[in-house]
Amino acid sequence: MDNKQLEKEKRIKVLVVDDSTTVREVVAKILSTDKKIEIIGQARNGKEAIELVAKLNPDIVTMDIVMPEMDGLEATEYIMAYHPTPIAIVTSSLAGKGKDFVYKSLDLGALAVIAKPDYISDLGNDFIEKVKLLSKVPVITHLAGKRKRRVKRTGISASKKVGTNKTVGIVSSTGGPDALRRILSKLPSDFPAGVVIVQHIGKGFEKDLIGWLNGYSRLTVKQAQPDEKIEPGCVYFAPSGYHTVVKEKGELGLMNSPPVWGHRPSGDIMLSSLAQSYGLRAIGVILTGMGKDGARGLKAIKDAGGKTIAQDEKTSLIFGMPNVAIEMGAADRIASIDSITDEIMKAL
């Protein structure tokens, strides 16, 4: 085998699925700018996607949600049950079926939800890197109904002796929605602290993510509002386009300052403000994600005497952000996603 053949063998094989010819061409054109990616096929609907996955054996599928004949949700369900393959949901459908289906796809085994571009410049290198990283994630057979909501059975009882003067800050990115679901579904209804979350996600997607997480959590999950008082048992989600900060009196603030590491909201800004306002009463958590946002903020909490937790490599979809935090000595505890809730309770 010559070098050209060897290089082709190592390419990441991508199947692009979307009912719009224009969108398929845009996604294919962007991904094809990377020499390590090969577009091996395109499908107009879920039915074609299922056929091509079985025939072409792609390394990853970029899947639209709302399509004729068979939508992306049904296609994802079938593929993960019979031909397990990494799937990234690429969509802008936030109304009608799309609104209901986007996060249900994660229940069925899709790895991540990525905002669909309007123009080529909307995706760029970040989109390419996400596709490349997700293509390497091991996936397993994921039969429909295998993952059940266990809100009434999986909670951890909060000790009556625990105070209510602490706040938990969580930062997550790629792979974060499912990680957040697994953490929030185990927190008890009498959880004695407030939770502030920064999740890197496309603009307009956070409201649907909040609704999805509310279906799993005993706590109230809501979008953060300016000057809102942080209350125990409430989860405050940083809105897209604004940095969310924790102020000294336990109130939330929103800022329109420049992005940090390309993100607004920024995990570094949120966690650093939590460290400054709460000091040793702060608890910081950094989950799966690309890049290094949140690592410096987590270190600020540790330096202030607070407790810090990082997700381990084995259970992180993308071990970028937790790894940076661990390498800089910012994490007191390194835990699997299913152990992080226990670590939070111990920190309280």
Q: Does the annotation mark 59 as catalytic?
A: no
Distance of CA 242 to the CA centre of its chain: 18
Q: How many residues does the chain have?
A: 348
Q: Where are the beta strands (DSSP E) in the chain?
A: 12-17, 37-43, 60-63, 87-91, 112-115, 167-172, 194-199, 220-223, 234-237, 243-246, 252-255, 282-286, 307-311, 333-335
Q: Does the annotation mark 273 as catalytic?
A: no
Q: Which of 173, 217, 273, 316 is catalytic?
A: 173
Q: Which of 18, 208, 293, 312 is catalytic?
A: 293
For residues 221 and 70, give the distance between their C-alpha atoms in angstroms, rounded to a whole number: 32
Q: Which of 93, 172, 200, 243 is catalytic?
A: 200
Residue with tokens 């079938």: 78
In this structure, the number of other CB atoms found within 10 A of the CB of residue 38 comes to: 17
**Is the dihedral angle over the CA atoms 37, 43, 44, 50 positive or is it negative?**
negative
Residue with tokens 């390497």: 136
Q: Does the annotation mark 32 as catalytic?
A: no
Concatenated DSSP letters of 132-180: HHHTTS------TTSS---TTTS--PPPTT--S--EEEEEE-TTHHHHH
C-alpha distances in Å from residue 104, one per residue of 75, 107, 110, 298:
12, 5, 9, 31
**DSSP assigned state of 280:** G
For residues 208 and 98, give the distance between their C-alpha atoms in angstroms, rounded to a whole number: 10
Catalytically active residues are 173, 200, 293
